[in-house]
């Protein structure tokens, strides 16, 4: 089954395709027709107009049911506190993931207690995204998670974010204008309004230029020049610090969008009044580099020609070309005091290959790999408001309820007695449908899981640029929580993956990860059959990019699930007890901050 933005056009596939009907607001259907010749290209074709989708913005495409096995009774839990649970059906008018559930939380001690740091500092994040108000990808989750973790440890944290016109102000508490000042752009000084508010308890400074920058319905893809807008934003943040006399210990920039800030700081504002701050840069994905013409950089007040050298910010791919271009990402690497990427293995990969490897090798001493974390408050199956039943590692019965609930809602479970087909593994893949994520492997898995007698659900978003703009910011929050809770396995077959959150979230919800060995996946998932480190074993790993490598790994995973029930239960408990929280990650960032900060000023 594939759940995703969709096209009204018929799609050739080897799975069962629903045609539009009224159920689920024309988003999910129980009338299916067999199609042939499904390919990975089809995964990229599903898109639709938001107005066609109504409130759910999802359509379900059905794969083979598999042979439901009902030999094992579901258990007594449905005869107790879940007696009044109304089970869904694929023909329901309201999508099952849109329903509300009673608050029946279970006791859960969670993970380790949060440490309180003694040597506190002021940290300012300069970012293009922040969850949940301006989230397009994982960057927004990282900023929010890291900021909250550092706040919890006692530090002062501010997040600086463009005040996008599309931001839903209902998510902001105590929003108020705090200052108006001018910032430079293209030989002119533009008035800027800065508002302060709280988002998820985190102080946020919203930077609002009075020109056309950041106007539009979406975070990205407006009618303005994005690169020039983010250069303006970077300078406006530094200008605010100078105007208000604010000197944070650390200015933490993220991705190419704020890669120009270190250049502005060291070559301009450090010579004015900002002496204390030091710069840390996090690179979340090396594929996005901020290609910049020299005249564009000059619009923020810097001399673009000064940075057009191999030692500074010239884009190495354009050396010898006419004209040569700059890279904001490279400039940020060169001018930051410390550079972080989002996993130790991705760090090694970027040092060995890629157009920035030479620059990173030159600055290896200040380059670190730190795994992202997940917000274990939001992602907590013991308290998750989106689940029909709650559970934790010691009280796992609720996970079976969630699995059956999803199966019934998607038409994967037979009607009648409330039983879970325990020998039918449910595999879930939640991803963007882009080449990086292993589209050909996902397409293969849909067919192979069915061949093995299992069930598979894919929740994805198409890669077409129009679709990215169409669905930007539309989070299928309820459905993703429910699918993780229902899954026996979470599949992450990425060709490359700087960090990856799906495998960590899946583990938090008791879904055993099946992953390709790359980037952060290699740092978080360790194969059950690897005798060299049995104490770490927590999933199933393959290395190739071919279908055969994935198929043999699925064979092993299914064999464990169906033939080694006790061992499988141990794996589930083990992955649920793994601490992938932001607290661990924040501690490593604090160490990096302390290594570059100026303690006496």
**Which of 233-242, 304-313, 460-469 shows the lowest mean pLDDT across its residues?**
460-469
**Distance of alpha carbon 47 from alpha carbon 418, whole angstroms:** 35
Give start and end residues of each alpha helix (H) in 459-581.
465-471, 477-486, 502-508, 519-524, 547-563, 565-576
* pLDDT at site 27: 36
Cβ-based neighbours of 275, under 8 Å, separated by 6 or more: 247, 598, 601
CA dihedral of residues 334, 340, 341, 345 (deg, nearest 10): 110
**Distance of alpha carbon 140 from alpha carbon 128, whole angstroms:** 8
Cβ neighbours, 10 Å, residue 58: 24
Check if the beta carbon of residue 596 is closer than 8 Å to that of residue 337.
Answer: yes
Give start and end residues of each alpha helix (H) in 272-386.
294-298, 328-335, 344-352, 357-362
- pLDDT per residue over 496-513, tens digit each? 999 999 999 999 999 999
Q: Is the pLDDT of residue 344 over 90?
A: yes
573 SS3 class: helix
Instruction: Assess if residue 318 is contained within a domain.
Output: yes
Please measure the distance between the N-terminal and C-terminal CA atoms of the chain and give it in whole angstroms: 59
Q: Is the pLDDT of residue 518 over 70?
A: yes
Please give, one letter per residue, the 3-state secondary structure of 358-379. HHHHHCHHHEEECCCCECCCCC
**Distance of alpha carbon 487 from alpha carbon 510, whole angstroms:** 8
CA dihedral of residues 387, 388, 392, 397 (deg, nearest 10): -150
Instruction: Assess if residue 381 is contained within a domain.
Output: no
Check if the beta carbon of residue 142 is closer than 8 Å to that of residue 284.
Answer: yes
Q: Is 221 left (phi over 0), alpha (psi -120 to 50) or beta?
A: left
Instruction: Assess if residue 590 is contained within a domain.
Output: no
* pLDDT at site 475: 41
What does R_g of the chain's alpha carbons equal in angstroms?
Answer: 25
* pLDDT at site 421: 54
Counted domains in the chain: 1
CATH number reported for the structural domain that contains residue 188 in this entry: 3.40.50.2000
**Which of 28-37, 125-134, 447-456 shows the lowest mean pLDDT across its residues?**
28-37
**Which of 118-127, 138-147, 276-285, 406-415 shows the lowest mean pLDDT across its residues?**
406-415
* Domain range for 242: 122-337
* pLDDT at site 138: 86
* pLDDT at site 66: 33
* pLDDT at site 423: 74
Cβ neighbours, 10 Å, residue 71: 8
Whole-number mean pLDDT of the chain? 85
CA dihedral of residues 12, 16, 19, 21 (deg, nearest 10): -160
**Which of 23-27, 480-484, 497-501 shows the lowest mean pLDDT across its residues?**
23-27
What is the Cβ-side half-sphere exposure of residue 37, based on CA atoms within 13 angstroms? 3
Band (pLDDT 50/70/90 cuts) for residue 280 is very high
**Distance of alpha carbon 536 from alpha carbon 546, whole angstroms:** 26
Instruction: Assess if residue 317 is contained within a domain.
Output: yes
**Distance of alpha carbon 57 from alpha carbon 98, whole angstroms:** 11
Say if pTM beats, i.e. exceeds, 0.85. no
Check if the beta carbon of residue 194 is closer than 8 Å to that of residue 207.
Answer: yes
Instruction: Assess if residue 463 is contained within a domain.
Output: no
Where do we find the tokens 């598999």? 66
Instruction: Assess if residue 112 is contained within a domain.
Output: no
* pLDDT at site 599: 83
Integer CA distances (angstroms), 138 to 209, 373, 498, 553, 599, in order: 26, 11, 11, 27, 32
Instruction: Assess if residue 365 is contained within a domain.
Output: no
The mean pLDDT of 83-91, rounded to a whole number, is 83
* pLDDT at site 69: 35
Instruction: Assess if residue 63 is contained within a domain.
Output: no
């Amino acid at each position: 089954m594939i759940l995703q933005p969709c096209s009204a056009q018929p799609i050739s596939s080897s799975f069962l395709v629903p045609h539009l009907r009224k159920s689920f607001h024309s988003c999910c259907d129980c009338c299916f027709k067999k199609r042939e010749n499904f390919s990975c290209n089809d995964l990229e074709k599903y898109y639709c107009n938001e107005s066609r989708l109504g409130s759910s913005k999802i359509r379900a495409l059905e794969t083979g049911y598999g042979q439901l096995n009902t030999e094992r009774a579901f258990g007594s839990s449905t005869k107790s506190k879940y007696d009044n649970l109304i089970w869904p059906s694929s023909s329901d008018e309201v999508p099952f993931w849109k329903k509300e559930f009673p608050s029946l939380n279970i006791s859960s001690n969670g993970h380790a207690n949060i440490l309180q740091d003694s040597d506190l500092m002021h940290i300012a994040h300069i970012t293009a995204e922040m969850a949940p108000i301006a989230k397009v990808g994982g960057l927004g989750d990282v900023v929010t998670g890291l900021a909250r973790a550092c706040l919890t440890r006692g530090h002062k944290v501010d997040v600086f974010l463009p005040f996008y016109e599309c931001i839903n102000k209902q998510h902001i508490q105590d929003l108020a204008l705090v200052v108006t000042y001018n910032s430079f752009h293209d030989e002119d000084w533009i008035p800027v309004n800065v508002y302060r508010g709280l988002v998820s308890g985190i102080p946020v400074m919203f930077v609002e230029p009075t020109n056309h920058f950041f106007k539009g319905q979406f975070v990205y893809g407006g009618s303005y020049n994005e690169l020039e807008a983010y250069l303006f934003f970077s300078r406006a943040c530094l200008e605010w610090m100078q105007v208000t006399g604010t000197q944070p210990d650390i200015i933490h920039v993220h991705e190419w969008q704020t890669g120009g800030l270190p250049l502005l700081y060291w070559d301009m504002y450090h010579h004015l009044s900002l002496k204390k701050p030091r710069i840390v840069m996090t690179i979340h994905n090396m594929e996005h580099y901020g290609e910049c013409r020299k005249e564009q950089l000059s619009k923020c007040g810097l001399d673009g020609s000064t940075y057009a050298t191999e030692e500074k910010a010239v884009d190495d791919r354009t050396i010898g070309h006419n004209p040569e271009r700059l890279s904001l990402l490279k400039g940020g690497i060169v001018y930051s005091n410390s550079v972080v990427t989002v996993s130790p293995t991705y760090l090694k990969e970027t040092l060995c290959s890629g157009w920035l490897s030479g620059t990173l090798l030159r600055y290896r001493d200040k380059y670190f790999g730190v795994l992202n974390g997940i917000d274990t408050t939001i992602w907590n199956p013991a308290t998750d408001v989106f689940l029909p039943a709650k559970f934790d590692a010691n009280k796992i019965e609720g996970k079976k309820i969630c699995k059956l609930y999803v199966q019934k809602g998607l038409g994967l479970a037979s009607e009648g007695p409330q039983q879970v087909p325990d020998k039918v593994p449910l595999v879930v893949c939640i991803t963007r449908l882009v080449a990086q994520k292993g589209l050909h492997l996902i397409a293969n898995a849909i067919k192979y899981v069915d061949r093995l007698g299992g069930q598979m659900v894919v929740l994805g978003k198409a890669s077409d640029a129009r679709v990215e703009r169409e669905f930007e910011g539309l989070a299928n929050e309820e459905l993703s929580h429910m699918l993780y809770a229902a899954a026996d396995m979470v599949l992450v077959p990425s060709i490359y993956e700087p960090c990856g959150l799906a495998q960590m979230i899946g583990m938090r919800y008791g879904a055993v990860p099946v992953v390709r060995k790359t980037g952060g996946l290699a740092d978080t998932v360790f194969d059950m059959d690897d005798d060299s480190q049995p104490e770490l074993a927590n999933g199933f790993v393959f290395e190739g990019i071919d279908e055969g490598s994935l198929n043999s790994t699925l064979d092993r995973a299914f064999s464990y699930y169906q033939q080694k029930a006790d061992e499988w239960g141990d794996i589930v408990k083990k992955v649920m007890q793994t601490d992938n929280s932001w607290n661990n990650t924040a501690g490593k960032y604090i160490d990096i901050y302390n290594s570059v900060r100026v303690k006496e000023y």
